Amino acid sequence: MSDFIGYLLTGLGIGAGYALVASGLVAIYRVTRVVNFAQGAFAVVAAMLTASLLGAGLPHGLAELAAVLTAALAGLLVGAVAIGRPGTTPGTSLIVTLGLAVFAYAVEIVIWGDQPRSFPGLPGVAVVGGARLQAHYLLILGVTVPVFVAMAAFFARTDLGKALSACASNPYAARVVGIDTRRMGLFAFALGGALGGLAGVLTTPVQQVTFDSDVTLIVNGLAAAVLGALTRPVVALAGGLLLGVAQTMIAGYGAGAYQLEVALVLMLTAMIVQAARRGAVPEMAR
Amino acid sequence: MNAVEVTGLTVRYSGATALDGVDLHVGEGELVALIGPNGAGKSTLVKALSGLVRPAAGQVTVRGRLAQVPEGREMFGDLSVDDNLRLGGWRNGRHGRDTTEIYRLLPGLDGLRRNRAGLLSGGQQQMVAIGRALMARPDVLVVDELSLGLAPLVVTELVGHLRTLNAERGLAVLLIEQNARLALGLCRRAYVLEAGRVVLHGPAGDLARDPRVTAAYLGGDVTAEGPAR
């Protein structure tokens, strides 16, 4: 039983990272209809930067905050390149983000090298229901849950959140009432950058990061996001947590780690089911 | 002084000419109809008036504020009626989003505040679209296909609202309609747009009796059974 609780909490912690990446994908996709393949790079950049800043003597909290803000800026830049030019189709923008994700490798290797990096998180061991796990997993959950609550409140209560939802719901009508849809798209990219950055900053103390860690993050994040047809943040959250838990359980009780396989199977199943139900997959490819 | 002044407006889409030297005006507080067949360029004109397409030539001058009730109603389908209305006031900033006045003007919406706009009937959605446009506090309302797909009773109610808004608040209306009978019955002046050009214009009553209009748009004499004024 204590094993189970341990795997569950560890899985939720890892899944929270996926959920943050997924919600960033959803935030961008809803407003711009662009699947942002550079989403994992935001996490890597933020994680690497945090390691450097902590190494330079910046205190915890400040270093992480600076890294998340930098990731938001990176998101804005990716958005500017991907959707900045009027008339760019979502399909073209998708390819641009893919290119930028690869370009990010070069930047990361030049700045930080190609060796894995990590930094200490919340120290100590927590005991929950007889299970012992790194206390940092609880910190991940303790940050992710309020972030999701704040996001829900942002979209449901604020004018800016409503305007973003309006762009997602009907971009033409949004332009008719005078909302600048491209600016909203750029804002969504910045938000996506911050969420990706947060994922990197939170999970790196328990999973060291290399320049190509974005592949794991984007595959898992995309799997979680696709569960909600890339448009439903709550489903993306649930999907991310489910993935994390499933992978940890399989690794814990089974023979080895099948992280990517689990994610890919889940994504494929979700896409097939959705395609059969209402053609969500063709819309994504458009 | 005119609320809307369009001179020599030409709009092209990748080579194809959608509007070709259109002259049109809407006086302050005036009700003006624009009729014409499918593909005549009516919706392009609406987009040009709202600044959503850039003219290749000519000028669009709008005095005061122009708001649009778009063709097909274009709801924010998964948002509530109240949110749809509030978003209509987006240009007015935070303080311009008080919806009280709209519910007073369009009491039919009052009971639907929390309903998702996408699940409303066509007539209710058209009412939301009008309310959303009114939230911009316009001097001119451009209504693109008011009656399309709506039951006659619903259309009568909507026309009543437009009449009231025009009479009580001096709101100028440019009504773009396929239903020529309705448009000529409501408005005092009208334009006929065909293949991107204004082919006829004048007092609505005259156009309703013009044989070219009756033959093409009215299927007979309108004066005998036009909507009551």
Band of residue B95 on the pLDDT scale cut at 50, 70, 90:
low
For the residues A39-46, what does the mean pLDDT come to?
A: 96
- The CATH architecture assigned to A2-114+135-285 reads Orthogonal Bundle (1.10)
Domain definitions of chain B by residue range: 1-64+176-229
- Geometric angle at alpha carbon A279, from A275 and A283, rounded to 5°: 120
Q: A178, B91: Cβ pair inside 8 Å?
A: yes
Q: pLDDT tens digit string along B66-86?
A: 999 999 999 999 999 999 999
Widest CA span in chain B: 51
Do residues B128 and B158 touch, judged by C-beta distance below 8 A?
A: no
- Residue A101 clears pLDDT 80, i.e. is over it: yes
Q: Does residue A269 belong to the interface with chain B, where contact is any CB pair within 8 Å?
A: no
Q: Sort out which chain B residues have CB atoms less than 8 A from A178's CB and list them.
A: 90-91, 136
Fold of B1-64+176-229: Rossmann fold (3.40.50)
Residues in contact with B215: Cβ distance below 8 Å, sequence separation at least 6, in sequence order: none
Report the residue of B49, B81, B86, B87 to disrupt the A interface, i.e. the one with the largest count of A CBs within 10 Å. B87
Of the candidates B128, B95, B134, B97, the one whose C-alpha atom is nearest the C-alpha of residue B111 is B128
Which DSSP helix (H) or strand (E) runs through B60?
A: strand B57-62
Of the candidates A103, A100, A82, the one whose C-alpha atom is nearest the C-alpha of residue A91 is A82
Tell me, what's the pLDDT at A129?
Answer: 86
Q: At what angle do helices A39-55 and A181-203 cross, to 10 degrees?
A: 50
Q: A172, B70: Cβ pair inside 8 Å?
A: yes
* Closest B-chain CA to A169: B76
Q: Sort out which chain B residues have CB atoms less than 8 A from A169's CB and list them.
A: 76-79
Ramachandran category for residue B76: left, alpha or beta (phi over 0 → left; psi -120 to 50 → alpha): beta
Band of residue B228 on the pLDDT scale cut at 50, 70, 90:
very low
The ipTM, to two decimals, is 0.87
Do residues B165 and B69 touch, judged by C-beta distance below 8 A?
A: no
Phi and psi at residue A90, to the nearest 5°: -55, -35
* Closest A-chain CA to B93: A159
Report the residue of A158, A169, A175, A182 to disrupt the B interface, i.e. the one with the largest count of B CBs within 10 Å. A169
Rounded to whole angstroms, the Cα distance separating A275 from A269 reads: 10
Tell me, what's the pLDDT at B224?
Answer: 44
Q: A170, B94: Cβ pair inside 8 Å?
A: no
Neighbours of A79 (CB within 10 A): 28
Rounded to whole angstroms, the Cα distance separating A270 from A264 reads: 10
Band of residue B229 on the pLDDT scale cut at 50, 70, 90:
very low
Q: How far does B129 lie from chain A, in Å, by closest CA?
A: 10
Q: Sort out which chain A residues have CB atoms less than 8 A from B141's CB and list them.
A: none
Tell me, what's the pLDDT at B220?
Answer: 55
Q: pLDDT tens digit string along A79-99?
A: 999 999 888 999 999 999 999
Tell me, what's the pLDDT at A265?
Answer: 85
Q: A176, B78: Cβ pair inside 8 Å?
A: no
Domain definitions of chain A by residue range: 2-114+135-285
Q: pLDDT tens digit string along B112-151?
A: 999 999 999 999 999 999 999 999 999 999 999 999 989 9
Residues of B with CB under 8 A from a CB of A: 50, 52, 68, 70, 74-79, 83, 86-88, 90-91, 94, 97, 132, 136
Lowest mean pLDDT among B2-6, B31-35, B91-95, B129-133: B91-95
**Helix, coil or strand: residue B57:** strand
- Residue A280 clears pLDDT 60, i.e. is over it: no
- Residue A190 clears pLDDT 50, i.e. is over it: yes
Q: pLDDT tens digit string along A234-259?
A: 889 999 999 999 888 888 888 677 77
DSSP code, position A255: S
Q: Does residue A159 belong to the interface with chain B, where contact is any CB pair within 8 Å?
A: yes
Q: Does residue A232 belong to the interface with chain B, where contact is any CB pair within 8 Å?
A: no
Of the candidates B57, B50, B87, the one whose C-alpha atom is nearest the C-alpha of residue B71 is B50
- Residue A111 clears pLDDT 60, i.e. is over it: yes
Lowest mean pLDDT among A12-21, A239-248, B58-67, B93-102: B93-102
